[in-house]
Structure 1
Amino acid sequence: MLLGHWYLVQPGLPRAPILELVRWNAMVWPFELGVLLWPTGMVSVLNGNIDDHYNGLLGWFWIASSITTIILIGVTRAALKERAYSAVMAATGLLYLAILTAFGMDVVARALLS
């Protein structure tokens, strides 16, 4: 978030640091997803073996957060390919949303599996 704010108040910064952050997020996401799915993970919640006390709603919320995170990372990468500075401003906002959905992905799994 601090990096995104820095890009908003200092126009003309190189895009390399924010692109690197996007790349790292895209590379780490599958591993985080795998760790949260297995061994006794979110697969058990989605199968119904672990009750979330909301008739499966939290499992669906976790799926939505997981999918939305990688979609937002992809859209952020696409926004950074544009030449205009407004694309950088959009990318910082999209990356912020991706971080929030990744946080939701992590917190819901931890709450259900603890």
Structure 2
Amino acid sequence: MTSAEFRPVAAPATLGRLWWLPSHGYGNGLDDHAWAPVLDVDARVAMILLDAFRAAGVPAYTASLTPHTHASRDGWATYRIWVGSSAYGRAEDTLLAVMPGLIHRFGPEIVR
């Protein structure tokens, strides 16, 4: 019987952001060495959140989880937001500051 062999990448930092994230998304111009998913939202607020994270100095990236030919029940695509792991705490603080206003403006269904 054979087993899976662990083969670490020699220099993951040289692979860049796309090693961690889908290639069909959008970033806010700030980069990090590691990324963590933080929230799934609908398309109406994905770019607003990227801007808020940029203003807070938080690297952020978003990509659609919904195939381009399909939308969710309410007609809006779902986007996942990733943030730079080094700024995860700042990202949480930013969400606590920004999300109440977005939910008031767009409704609670923006969070998936």
Scaled by the length of structure 2, the TM-score of the pair is: 0.29
- The structure with the greater share of residues assigned to helix is 1
Q: Report the structure, 1 or 2, having the larger strand content.
A: 2
Compute the TM-score of the two structures, normalised by the length of structure 1.
0.29
